[in-house]
């Protein structure tokens, strides 16, 4: 995807310059679209009232996630945002790895739900002493999701069935099956809403801060996974195989790597990461399982992967941005009465421009021509001095 832009005759400096300008332009367009939508939905009798209401809403979205009304930095808000990052870092990493191999598996959504559910079951019913319970619960959630991903992965690798359609179908199947199990067997009938029995006390994950942000040690695990994923993708032969498959699958086959194995591997890993994210989210921030709708973390994870250019190392940055924006939209909805779902429109716009090869292509071509001319001039100068 974004990688294709690298086939350029540009010097490294120009190349970086272009990437930064392009990213900023995409963000600016997204914010402009957001502002227009805010303006349309703002209350006010006339233009200036609407304008001031919109500006207030925009302030809520862009500034309030980290700063108090008086403009001072809020540590609590900051840890809130960090806590928000955890699940989308996992779904983001999962998507990075799957998309790197050009496997458009959109199952991180169902994956995080399944992982959360299985982890929750272990946390409620399996009596394991001490913190081992946390580990076992999360591992079980991750494994279950990894196994689930075998379905689209094997079908793609062996039969060529679209992993995209299958993973989307599985998202629905998972959601309904969980709801069925909840309704029929698991729900705590003493409560008015659908939820499981509470987790055992030793299943609750320790918190990093005690300010009520629910920022658990899961954050640290997420960062460790980011580093591990980077090493996996850029420093092991399996990650190499995954990346090459994404660039040119026939090349990988011709080179003697096992394409089917790579296709399966990347999706199973994606499943494990998504499932892990679900488990950590459960034990870090909840005391019962109560997801009956898709949590949308999977879709945000796709945006995170696109923003990160499928490189795990940029996932925290992208996740921070998305968590910040999500919080901003929530604040905007409570304080300025703009529906929080604005986030999905902003997300879609950023997403579209980030993944657009030809976005600012004219500007890029200028840089390329410049680079080529510089190079030619250099060569000629070298030849001339050589002749002398």
Partner 1 sequence: MGEEFVIQMKGITKVYPNGTVANQDVNFDVKKGEIHALMGENGAGKSTLMKMLFGLEQPTSGEILVNGEPVNLSSPTVAISHGIGMVHQHFMLVPSLTVAENMVLGMVPKKSGMLIDYKKAVALTEEYSKKFNLPVEANARVADIPVGMKQKVEILKALVRGAKILILDEPTAVLTTQETAELFVELENLKKQGYTMIFISHKLNEIMEITDRMTILRGGRSMGIYNTKDVTPEEISRLMVGRDVVLKVEKEPAQPGEEVLRVRDLEYINEWGKKMLDKVSLSVRKGEILGIAGVEGNGQKELVDMLFGFNTPNAGSVKVSGEEILGLNQREIRERHISLVPEDRMLYGIAATASIEENLISDRTANKELNKGILFNMSEIHKMSDQLVKDYTVLCKSAGQTIGSLSGGNIQKVVVAREFSNDPVLIIADQPTRGIDVGATEFIRKKLVELSRSGIAVLLVSADLNEVMELSDSLIIMCGGRIAAYFEDTRDLSDELMGKYMLGIEQQTPEEIRRVCHE
Partner 2 sequence: MNIFTADFFFSIIRIATPILFATLAAVIGEKGGVSNIGLEGIMMMSALFGSLGAYWTKSWLIGLLLAMAVGLLESLVMGFFAFNLKTNIILTGTAINMIGSGGCLFLVKVITGQASTTALITKSLQIPSISIPLIRDIPYIGKIISGHSVLTYIAFLLVWLTIVLLYKTPLGLNIRSVGENPNAASSVGVSVLKIQYITIGIGGILAGMGGAFMSMYYAMGWSQDMVAGRGFIALAAQSMGGGEPVGSMLAALIFGFASALGIKISATGVDSNLVAPIPYIVTIIALVIFALNEKRKEKQRHSSAALQK
Choice from 7, 159, 193, 201 touching partner 2 (CB under 8 A): 159
Among the listed residues 302, 283, 136, 295, the one whose alpha carbon sits nearest the alpha carbon of residue 218: 283
Contact 103, 265 (CB under 8 A): no
- The number of residues that bind partner 1 (CB under 8 A) is 35
Query: Of 30 and 252, which has the nearer Cβ to partner 1?
Result: 252
**Gap between the Cα atoms of 319 and 313, Å rounded:** 11
Could you tell which of partner 2, partner 1, none binds residue 170, using a CB distance below 5 to 8 A set by kind? partner 2
- Kindly state whether residue 244 participates in binding partner 1, applying the rule CB under 8 A: yes
User: Under a CB-based contact definition with an 8 Å cutoff, are residues 304 and 89 in contact?
Assistant: yes
Residue in the block written with tokens 């629910």: 214
Rounded distance, CA 92 to CA 350, Å? 15
- Options 61-69, 83-91, 141-149, 172-180: segment touching partner 2 (CB under 8 A): 172-180
- Minimum distance from residue 375 beta carbon to partner 2 (Å): 26
Q: Which does 348 bind (CB under 5 to 8 A by kind): partner 1, partner 2, none?
A: partner 2
Q: Which is nearer to partner 1, 75 or 224 (CB)?
A: 224
- Our measurement of the distance from residue 31's CA atom to the centroid of its chain's CA atoms, rounded to an integer in Å, reads 20
Strand partners for 216: 207
- Confirm or reject binding of residue 339 to partner 2 (CB under 8 A): yes
Which SS3 state, helix, strand or coil, does residue 253 take?
A: helix
Residue selected from 130, 160, 192, 250 as contacting partner 1 according to rule CB under 8 A: 250
235 binds partner 1 per the rule CB under 8 A: yes
Choosing from 91, 100, 196, 347, the residue that interacts with partner 2 (CB under 8 A) is 347
Nearer to partner 2, 1 or 55 (CB): 1
Nearest Cα to Cα of residue 263 among 157, 116, 132 = 157
Would you say 380 and 21 are in contact if contact means Cβ atoms under 8 Å apart?
no
Q: Is 166 in the site for partner 2 (CB under 8 A)?
A: yes
DSSP type of residue 203: G
- Residue from 52, 162, 236, 334 in contact with partner 1 (CB under 8 A): 236
Q: Does 22 bind partner 1 (CB under 8 A)?
A: no
Instruction: Report the alpha-carbon distance of residue 39 to residue 32 in Å, rounded.
Output: 10
Q: Is 29 in the site for partner 2 (CB under 8 A)?
A: no
Enter the DSSP assignment of 155.
I
For partner 1, which residue of 125, 176, 180, 251 counts as binding (CB under 8 A)? 251
Compute the distance between CA of residue 344 and CA of residue 300 in angstroms, rounded to an integer: 9
Interacting residue with partner 1 among 375, 377, 378, 380 (CB under 8 A): 375
Which residue in 146, 122, 117 sits closest to 135, CA to CA? 122
- Asked if 345 interacts with partner 2 (CB under 8 A), we say yes
Q: Which of 377, 371, 387 is nearest to 8 (CA)?
A: 371
Q: Which residues lie closer than 8 Å to 4 by C-beta, 6 or more apart?
A: 357
Give dist(CA 237, CA 33) in Å, integer.
Answer: 43
| x/- track of binding to partner 1 for residues 254-273 (CB under 8 A) | xxxxx---------------
44 binds partner 2 per the rule CB under 8 A = no
Site track 344-373 with partner 1 (rule: CB under 8 A), x = hit: -----------------x--xx--xx-xx-
Distances (CA, A) of 252 to 258, 299, 311: 8, 29, 20
Residues binding partner 1 (CB under 8 A): 3-4, 6-10, 231, 235-237, 240-241, 243-244, 247-248, 250-258, 361, 364-365, 368-369, 371-372, 375-376
Residues binding partner 2 (CB under 8 A): 1, 37, 40-41, 104, 106, 151, 155, 159-162, 164-166, 168-170, 172-173, 176-177, 179-180, 183-184, 296, 299, 302-303, 306, 339, 341-345, 347-349, 351-353, 355-359
């Amino acid at each position: 995807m974004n990688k294709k832009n690298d086939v350029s005759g540009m010097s490294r400096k120009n190349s970086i310059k272009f990437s930064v300008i392009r990213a900023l332009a995409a963000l600016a367009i997204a914010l402009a679209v957001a502002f227009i939508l805010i303006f349309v939905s703002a209350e006010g009798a006339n233009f200036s009232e609407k304008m001031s209401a919109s500006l207030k809403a925009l302030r809520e979205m862009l500034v309030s996630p980290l700063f108090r009304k008086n403009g001072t930095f809020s540590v609590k808000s900051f840890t809130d945002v960090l806590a928000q990052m955890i699940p989308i870092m996992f779904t983001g990493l999962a998507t990075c790895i799957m998309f790197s191999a050009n496997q458009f598996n959109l199952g991180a959504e169902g994956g995080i739900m399944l992982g959360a559910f299985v982890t929750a079951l272990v946390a409620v019913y399996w009596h394991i002493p001490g913190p081992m319970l946390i580990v076992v619960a999360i591992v079980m959630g991750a494994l279950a999701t990894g196994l689930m991903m075998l379905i689209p992965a094997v079908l793609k690798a062996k039969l060529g069935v679209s992993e995209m359609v299958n993973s989307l179908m599985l998202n629905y199947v998972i959601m309904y099956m969980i709801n069925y199990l909840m309704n029929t067997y698991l729900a705590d009938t003493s409560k008015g809403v659908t939820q499981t029995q509470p987790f055992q006390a030793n299943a609750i994950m320790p918190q990093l801060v005690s300010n009520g942000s629910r920022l658990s040690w899961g954050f640290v695990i997420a960062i460790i996974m980011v580093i591990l994923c980077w090493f996996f993708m850029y420093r092991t032969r399996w990650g190499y195989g995954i990346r090459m498959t994404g660039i040119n699958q026939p090349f990988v086959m011709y080179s003697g790597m096992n394409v089917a194995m790579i296709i399966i591997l990347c999706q199973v890993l994606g499943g494990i990461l998504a499932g892990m994210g679900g488990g950590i989210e459960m034990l870090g921030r909840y005391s019962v399982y109560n997801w009956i709708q898709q949590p949308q973390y999977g879709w945000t994870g796709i945006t995170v992967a696109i923003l990160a250019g499928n490189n795990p190392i940029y996932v925290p940055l992208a996740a921070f941005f998305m968590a910040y924006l999500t919080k901003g939209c929530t604040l905007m909805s409570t304080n300025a009465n703009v529906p929080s779902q604005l986030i999905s429109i902003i997300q879609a716009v950023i997403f579209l421009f980030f993944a657009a090869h030809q976005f600012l292509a004219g500007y890029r071509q200028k840089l390329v021509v410049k680079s080529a001319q510089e190079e030619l001039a250099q060569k000629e100068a070298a030849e001339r001095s050589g002749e002398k």
